[in-house]
Chain A
């Protein structure tokens, strides 16, 4: 229980600094007197003895400083004093304080803004295996017909194109397809009420190519093509991370 005593003594000293100071002064005075007394008994005159005792002790403030540094609450006390001093000094020159606070605010704000941007654009990558190796054909959003696009560039690929492309693939470790238009549907999970769900049509290789595994059950495989849907429930949790709260359940289309 030594730490408890240390703590309580320290706090009681913190809240009665005058008593602590007074006791230290009294102890030092007593020390000096006893020292002088011993020297008088050894044959010095009263005046010489008092002087010799003072010389032996040296600066009383230095001694008190050493005593104070032996206990932890001095650190707290000094910190509190420094804090009050700085607040007083800041209050004395409000113009300087305003400029300093504004510069700090602008500096911190600008840094935060830039970091947030960089974080989204550069640092936070897709939550899949090896996001750097993914290649997206087209822009993944186009709708319409696959041939004769006005600007003659390929942005949209038919499912038969995907089939033959993946059969003849010698370049990529895997190919997957996703229907470029999201649609919503209604469904119920495990007998719960029907709710609106956002669905994507993907090929069976989708999860294996991305390297995403199921939290529960299993993911689609190529054998499932055109038969099964993976239901992703995204509970709306304010401030929560959607990816962390995905529950995956299986159901037949």
Chain B
């Protein structure tokens, strides 16, 4: 089973968004671009999954949003991490570490 180029591992999108927003508040495209760049082009997040995920997370309270003007003086919706989001990021990172370590152990056995 091969992971197609640009396809996310199920359930990891929210964790990647949280991690990206932990650096600084960003607008939607900023998040998508950053994930793509940092993953060296392996993950491409299209707005059809990114924006719903952000809406869901905003509702869950892990991010909040604010309309700000961009560097080009345009209005954009900036997302930023809340305390709940920070906690979720720590928890999910730890869980992810445990899971990948376990998977690695199984694959190497």
Where chain B touches its partner, the secondary structure class is helix
- The answer to whether residues A63 and B61 also contact, given A23-B77, A30-B29, A37-B72 and a CB cut-off of 8 A, is no
Contacts of B50-96 to chain A: CB distance below 8 A: 51-53, 55-56, 59-61, 70, 72, 74-77, 84
- Assess A70 versus B47: contact at CB under 8 Å? Given A2-B84, A34-B76, A35-B29: no
- How many residues of B are in contact with the other chain, CB < 8 A? 24
Residue ID in chain A nearest B57 by CB atoms: A70
Q: What is the bound-complex CA distance between A70 and B51, given in angstroms? A: 9
* Binary contact track B10-41/A, C-beta < 8 Å → 1, others 0: 00000000000000000111100100000000
Which residues of the other chain, A, contact B30 by a CB distance below 8 angstroms? Answer: 34
Q: Does A116 contact B (CB under 8 A)?
A: no
A9 neighbours in B (Cβ, 8 Å): 59
**A127 → chain B closest CB, angstroms:** 53
Task: Indicate if B46 sits at the interface (CB-CB under 8 A).
Answer: yes
Interface residue stretch chosen among A54-62, A151-159, A239-247: A54-62
What does DSSP make chain A's interface, helix, strand, loop or mixed? helix
Across the interface, B75 reaches (CB within 8 A) one of A28, A30, A69, namely A30
Give how many A-B residue pairs fall within 8 Å (CB-CB): 68
Contacts of B27 in A (CB 8 A): 30-31, 34
* Contact of B52 with A30 in the complex, beta carbons under 8 Å: no
Contact, CB under 8 Å: B60 / A66: no
Q: Contacts of B77 on A, CB cut-off 8 Å?
A: 23, 26-27, 30
* Nearest A residue (CB) for B56: A70
Which residues on the A side are within 8 Å of B28 (C-beta)?
27, 30-31
Residues of A in contact, count (CB < 8 Å): 26
A34 near B70 with CB under 8 A, answer yes
In the complex, the chain A residue whose C-beta lies closest to that of B58 is A9
For A70, the chain B residues whose CB sits under 8 A away are 52-53, 55-56, 59
A61 → chain B closest CB, angstroms: 11
Which B residues form the contact surface with A (CB < 8 A)? 27-30, 33, 46-49, 51-53, 55-56, 59-61, 70, 72, 74-77, 84
A residues with a Cβ closer than 8 A to B are 2, 5-6, 9-10, 23, 26-28, 30-31, 33-35, 37-38, 56-58, 62-63, 66-67, 69-71
* 28 pairs, A vs B, C-beta closer than 8 Å: A2-B84, A6-B59, A6-B60, A9-B59, A23-B77, A28-B47, A30-B70, A30-B74, A30-B76, A31-B51, A34-B27, A34-B30, A34-B70, A34-B76, A35-B29, A56-B46, A57-B46, A57-B48, A62-B48, A63-B48, A66-B52, A67-B52, A69-B52, A70-B52, A70-B56, A71-B55, A71-B56, A71-B59
- Besides A9-B59, A71-B59, 8 new A-B residue pairs in contact (Cβ under 8 A), listed by A number: A5-B61, A23-B77, A27-B77, A30-B29, A34-B27, A63-B51, A66-B49, A70-B53
